[in-house]
Amino acid sequence: MTQRKKKSILLVMPDFPIPPKRKIHHDYLPIGLLKIGTYLRHAKGYSVELIFGNRKPSMIPDEIWITSLFTYWSEYVGRSAKYYRSLFPKAKVIVGGIYASLMPEHAKLLTKATRVHQGLYMPAERWAKTHSLDYSLLGKNVDFQILHGMRGCFRRCEFCGTWKIEPREEFDFEITKRIRSNHVIFYDNNFLRHPNIKQILSELANVRYNGKPVIFECQSGFDGRIMDEEIARLLKKARFINPRIAWDHSLFDERMIREQIGMLTRAGYKAKDIYVFILYNWNYDFHTCESKRLKCWEWKVQIADCRFRPLDSTSDHYNPRKRQSSKDYFIHPLWTDEEVKLFRANVRRHNICVRHGFGFYSRMLEQMRLPKEKQKRLLKLSMLNKSALKQALPDAWFPDEYHGPDRKQAPIESFIDIAYVASDKPATEII
């Protein structure tokens, strides 16, 4: 009797524009491919190889599964499909992931795939709930573990595609049984939404791996609208680091964001270790976002800035080093190219000042590599006399000042926001 040939599956992470040092990093790890590869290798008995970029594999595959990330990186998915089709014209090509799920027709046309898979690959998802992932597929050792405590999100934010790709909420009630590392990153979309969140956090606080405590992170941050004082304390007790919350909407939410930060600091977090997501190049103009940055400086928290691109945007050629137009990348009607780049620069300087406790930022000082004693004198001078410091360092940038294009004038809606924050009165009383 002839033995049946083992099916060979090639898994491909396209050559997305990710810095080399982050190719296998918890920010961009292809967890979907890792789950699929583990399932196909251990549950189905297939021969599986996972490749980063476009290069010749060690096998002749029967099927090529190509993942996708953001829609605006679609061209890289197209390049991979073309490359591997030329190498293996007889192999089936299956494309999945975020871009493929949000824009299946476009993905089909671009890649000429045999099939476009939308949403999660459920056989692999179910397998991952009861089995450890095979990280050897990465071809490199990693010192962290990716977990999902839940899928989906009950929020319906217009700028987010999660709820479209994962329309149903699903929860894992046995998270602690799956921990296999001393550094665990949750890829959950709304971790605090878990119905047993307080019990789970209490369990995580007591988890040990190899006899040592486990450090946790939540990459997508925490829904501060769900958080309360007890949850904040439990997060700290469970050793969650770098907590992130989101300030997606107007300055009218200032009090709510301040309260969320207060919960975290009262729980024991240092303000400088807290991040606030700020979505920019979106429905709130530069003035509003810069005003949010000033509030974050007042609270001495860092900012995770998120440049908005529409969910159906299939390209993005943003270049921070040159002037561009909306032909190069998406620029919201309320924004300009200058403002997009200026806000990003403001955030970078802001975060450096917060992290190091500086009262100003200077690129000249950064490049001069001055002795520590002279640095200390300049820092002291910044607290005593800004004008004197400006003479010593003409490019000194102060995080407590508003930094915007000189010609920019805030629209009336933004002035209303400022008045509201200053007075703590309802907007109707101001108008």
Q: Please provide the DSSP assignment of 11-64 as one string.
A: EEE---S--GGGTTSTTT--HHHHHHHHHHHHTS--EEEEEESS---SS--SEE
Map residue 9 onto helix, strand or coil.
Answer: strand
What is residue 410's predicted lDDT score, i.e. its pLDDT? 43
Cβ neighbours, 10 Å, residue 130: 9
Show the DSSP H helices in 148-248 as ranges.
162-165, 197-205, 229-237
Q: Is the pTM above the cut of 0.85?
A: yes
Give the Cα separation of 165 and 152 in Å (integer): 8
What is residue 431's predicted lDDT score, i.e. its pLDDT? 20
Question: For residues 416 and 359, is the Cβ–Cβ distance under 8 A?
Answer: no
Q: Which two tokens stand for residue 96?
A: 């999945």
What is residue 408's predicted lDDT score, i.e. its pLDDT? 47
Question: For residues 397 and 362, is the Cβ–Cβ distance under 8 A?
Answer: yes
Question: For residues 360 and 403, is the Cβ–Cβ distance under 8 A?
Answer: no
What is residue 93's predicted lDDT score, i.e. its pLDDT? 98
Q: 198 phi and psi, to 5 degrees?
A: -70, -40
Map residue 185 onto helix, strand or coil.
Answer: strand
What is residue 141's predicted lDDT score, i.e. its pLDDT? 87
Name which of 278, 270, 220 is nearest 246 in CA terms: 278
Give the Cα separation of 51 and 46 in Å (integer): 16
What is the β-pairing status of strands 63-66 and 8-13?
parallel
What is residue 426's predicted lDDT score, i.e. its pLDDT? 30
Residue 186: which H helix or E strand, with range? Answer: strand 183-186
Residue 73: half-sphere exposure toward Cβ, Cα within 13 Å: 16
What is residue 368's predicted lDDT score, i.e. its pLDDT? 66
CB burial class (10 A; 0-12, 13-18, 19+) of residue 412?
Answer: exposed
Question: For residues 251 and 288, is the Cβ–Cβ distance under 8 A?
Answer: yes
Question: For residues 98 and 312, is the Cβ–Cβ distance under 8 A?
Answer: no
What is residue 393's predicted lDDT score, i.e. its pLDDT? 82
Question: For residues 370 and 393, is the Cβ–Cβ distance under 8 A?
Answer: no
Give the Cα separation of 90 and 210 in Å (integer): 47
Question: For residues 423 and 431, is the Cβ–Cβ distance under 8 A?
Answer: no
What is residue 370's predicted lDDT score, i.e. its pLDDT? 67
- Domain boundaries defined on the chain: 7-120
What is residue 27's predicted lDDT score, i.e. its pLDDT? 72
Give the Cα separation of 261 and 425 in Å (integer): 21
Tell me how far CA of residue 190 lies from CA of 40, 92, 119, 428, in angstroms: 28, 35, 17, 33
What is residue 390's predicted lDDT score, i.e. its pLDDT? 82
CATH domain 7-120 topology: Rossmann fold (3.40.50)
| pLDDT per residue as tens, the chain (431 positions) | 455 678 999 999 999 998 776 666 677 789 999 999 999 999 999 999 999 999 999 999 999 999 999 999 999 999 999 999 999 999 999 999 999 999 999 999 999 999 999 999 999 999 998 898 999 999 888 899 999 999 999 999 899 998 999 989 999 999 999 999 999 999 999 999 999 999 999 999 999 999 999 999 999 999 999 999 999 999 999 999 999 999 999 999 999 999 999 999 999 999 999 999 999 999 999 999 999 999 999 999 999 999 999 999 999 999 999 999 999 999 999 999 999 999 999 999 999 999 998 888 988 777 766 677 776 777 666 666 788 788 878 888 999 999 998 754 444 333 333 333 333 333 222 22
Question: For residues 234 and 194, is the Cβ–Cβ distance under 8 A?
Answer: no
What is residue 5's predicted lDDT score, i.e. its pLDDT? 73
